[in-house]
Amino acid sequence: MPARRPGLPPRSAVPRTRTPAYVTVLAPAVLTVLLGLWGIRREGSLWQDEAVTYDMAHRALPDLWATLGHVDAVHGLYYLVMHGVFRIWDGGLVALRLPSVLAMAGAAAGVAALGRRFAGTRAGLAAGAVFALLPVVQRYAQEGRSYALVTALVVAQTCVLVRACAERRRGWWAGYTVLGTLAVLLHEFALPALAAHGVTVLAARLPRTARAAWAAACCCITVVTAPLVLLSLRQSRQVDWIAAPTAHDVLGFLLTAGAGLACATVLRRRTTAVSRRAGLGTAALPLLLLLLPPALLLLACVLRPLYVDRYVLYAQAGLALLAGAALDRVWRSVTPRAVPALTTAAAAVVVAVLGPVGTDLRSPESRTDDVRAVSRALRDVAVPGDGVLFLPGSRRVWALQQEPASYGLEDIALADAPHASHTLYGEESPPAGIRGSMLRVSRIVVVREPTRERHESDAREEAKEATLRACFARRDSRVVGTARIDVYARGDAC
């Protein structure tokens, strides 16, 4: 009998069924696509990050390249991908979000394939279905940002890692390197996934050649992506808005970690002696993928706040793998009498996820803001000839879809438009110029986000506030999500 390759569960430890492998992989992918297409337009709403994607992807390639040299290089590859998508089909919100739907479907297929390899067909189907149903996965499957694509690449990279450790062919390690490089180029916070992979490889009983191959792959990924990382460090001011982790952030991580550990406990208690010697076992790799990336981001906050849960969205694949394997173990151990109760409980969870939670995720209120709602409110309160002022200047993101000039307003602080200045939000005049422009008009509509004002204050923002206090009086105000729109009229003091 040939010796078993270390690094994977032995074939005897993985339950076999007659379900074809393609069914295990395709079923969760189809489910993810169906959920992703459900309400994909989100009632025509668009939140600020998606508005940036839409604007950047519609810039000419020379303008886009010049902009990335100043700001947002971390998302540069994604903008190039979306530029290509819109060149092929400029389908508005559907074209903006469809790549994320398809990427998340690919991630679900990868999760199912991993689950099948680790714990059998039923566990793979369960893992893929759990992944597709996770509210956070449903949310970012319908978002015009890079997180779904990064998740798909990290899951694919994890699949290739498992094959590379099992078969020890150079081609698999080359594929691992390429996928890891693409993931990091799409978003640098794919790097913590390498840490999860590395700890797994080092802890497993693998040959020294496999460990050396993983280290070489990481070195290649680091060398290729280092220029982007260094450029992003020079542009780090764009993440100044990230605050220190709140109790809500920490609690969310702890609850997710607790769920993963509970599933791992079920697997450990019900694992045979053979599968405990499996190297990259059923629980080790998924658990590290779930815990290590977000934990590293939280620890990095000691130096600088960087933790945003969507930056490590791919960690949810680890939770789905653990949950799928645990559900399979529980299902195989229940008595016939318990089957109806277990089925009812599972159905109730699915109904809750697809009912109130799923409906809420597809409403405009599920996001922090709606660019189009802010534009409508601005148009309602303003009259032609009014000045408009954004506090802070980055809130001009709410005007990317429809410029104030299109309904007769003057952006009084703006010196150069975003496209002309190769920036995200345009270049504003110096403080003295802003004050002079404000004093030329009798009414100003101020579009502000109070939480951002605290993090993005500078001399320009101080000049805006000082002039408003000294020379204008607030006449009207309304709140639209996180935006507040104030109407100021000129007083007698200036």
pLDDT digits (tens, 9 = 90+) for 349-362: 788 778 888 999 99
Query: Please, which pLDDT band fits residue 17 given cuts at 50, 70 and 90?
Result: low
Does residue 309 have a pLDDT over 90?
Answer: yes
Cβ atoms < 10 Å from Cβ of 332: 12
Query: Please, which pLDDT band fits residue 456 given cuts at 50, 70 and 90?
Result: confident
Does residue 5 have a pLDDT over 50?
Answer: no
Does residue 4 have a pLDDT over 70?
Answer: no
Query: Please, which pLDDT band fits residue 123 given cuts at 50, 70 and 90?
Result: very high
Which letter, b or e, does each residue of 236-256 get, where b requires 16 or more Cβ atoms within 10 Å of its Cβ? eebeebeeebeeebeeebeeb
Alpha-carbon span 218 to 195, nearest angstrom: 10
The per-residue pLDDT for 370 is: 95
Which range (73-77, 165-169, 360-364) has the least confidence? 165-169
The per-residue pLDDT for 225 is: 97
pLDDT in tens, 383-430: 999 999 999 999 999 999 989 998 899 999 999 999 999 999 999 999
The per-residue pLDDT for 255 is: 96
Taking phi over 0 as left and psi of -120 to 50 as alpha, with beta for the rest, 458 belongs to beta
Query: Percent of the chain having pLDDT more than 90?
Result: 77
Q: Tokens at residue 68, please?
A: 């990335």
The per-residue pLDDT for 3 is: 47
The per-residue pLDDT for 290 is: 97
The per-residue pLDDT for 2 is: 46
Taking phi over 0 as left and psi of -120 to 50 as alpha, with beta for the rest, 257 belongs to alpha
Which range (162-171, 288-297, 317-326, 471-480) has the least confidence? 162-171
Alpha-carbon span 164 to 279, nearest angstrom: 13
The per-residue pLDDT for 20 is: 79
The per-residue pLDDT for 1 is: 43
How distant, in Å, are the alpha carbons of 171, 261, 320 from that of 274? 29, 21, 23
Query: Please, which pLDDT band fits residue 479 given cuts at 50, 70 and 90?
Result: very high
The per-residue pLDDT for 421 is: 94
Taking phi over 0 as left and psi of -120 to 50 as alpha, with beta for the rest, 468 belongs to alpha
**3-class DSSP string for the chain:** CCCCCCCCCCHHHCCCCCCCHHHHHHHHHHHHHHHHHCCCCHHHCCCHHHHHHHHHHCCCHHHHHHHHCCCCHHHHHHHHHHHHHHHHCCCHHHHHHHHHHHHHHHHHHHHHHHHHHHHCHHHHHHHHHHHHHCHHHHHHHCCCCCHHHHHHHHHHHHHHHHHHHHHCCHHHHHHHHHHHHHHHHHCHHHHHHHHHHHHHHHHCCCCHHHHHHHHHHHHHHHHHHHHHHHHHHHCHHHHCCCCCCCHHHHHHHHHHHHHHHHHHHHHHHCCCHHHHCCCCCCCHHHHHHHHHHHHHHHHHCCCCCCCCHHHHHHHHHHHHHHHHHHHHHHHHHCCHHHHHHHHHHHHHHHHHHHHHHHHHHCCHHHCCCCHHHHHHHHHHHCCCCCEEEEECHHHHHHHCCCCHHHHCCEECCEEECHHHHCCCCCEECCHHHHHHHHCCCCEEEEEECHHHHHHCCCHHHHHHHHHHHHHEEEEEEEEECCEEEEEEEECCCC
Q: Tokens at residue 322, please?
A: 């653990």
Q: Please, what is the average pLDDT of the chain?
A: 90
Of residues 15 and 132, the one with the higher pLDDT is 132
The per-residue pLDDT for 61 is: 97
The per-residue pLDDT for 279 is: 45
Query: Please, which pLDDT band fits residue 272 given cuts at 50, 70 and 90?
Result: very low
Alpha-carbon span 428 to 481, nearest angstrom: 25
Closest to 297 (Cα-Cα) out of 151, 190, 143, 186: 190
* Under 8 Å between Cβ of 433 and 415: yes
* Mean pLDDT value of segment 207-214: 92
* Under 8 Å between Cβ of 252 and 309: yes
Does residue 13 have a pLDDT over 70?
Answer: no
Q: Tokens at residue 107, please?
A: 């991630």
pLDDT in tens, 253-270: 999 999 999 999 988 765
Side chain identity, residue 166: A
The per-residue pLDDT for 240 is: 82
Q: What is the dihedral of CA 332, 264, 288, 131, to 10 degrees?
A: 50
* Mean pLDDT value of segment 41-60: 96
Alpha-carbon span 50 to 44, nearest angstrom: 12
Alpha-carbon span 154 to 289, nearest angstrom: 10
Query: Please, which pLDDT band fits residue 281 given cuts at 50, 70 and 90?
Result: low
Alpha-carbon span 33 to 98, nearest angstrom: 9
Is 66 exposed, middle or buried (CB count within 10 Å of its CB: 0-12, 13-18, 19+)? Answer: middle
Does residue 54 have a pLDDT over 60?
Answer: yes
Query: Please, which pLDDT band fits residue 63 given cuts at 50, 70 and 90?
Result: very high
Which range (9-23, 101-115, 299-313) has the least confidence? 9-23
Q: What is the pTM of this model?
A: 0.91
Neighbouring-strand partners of residue 390:
447
The per-residue pLDDT for 360 is: 94
The per-residue pLDDT for 193 is: 97
pLDDT in tens, 424-450: 999 999 999 999 999 999 999 999 998
Of residues 407 and 51, the one with the higher pLDDT is 51
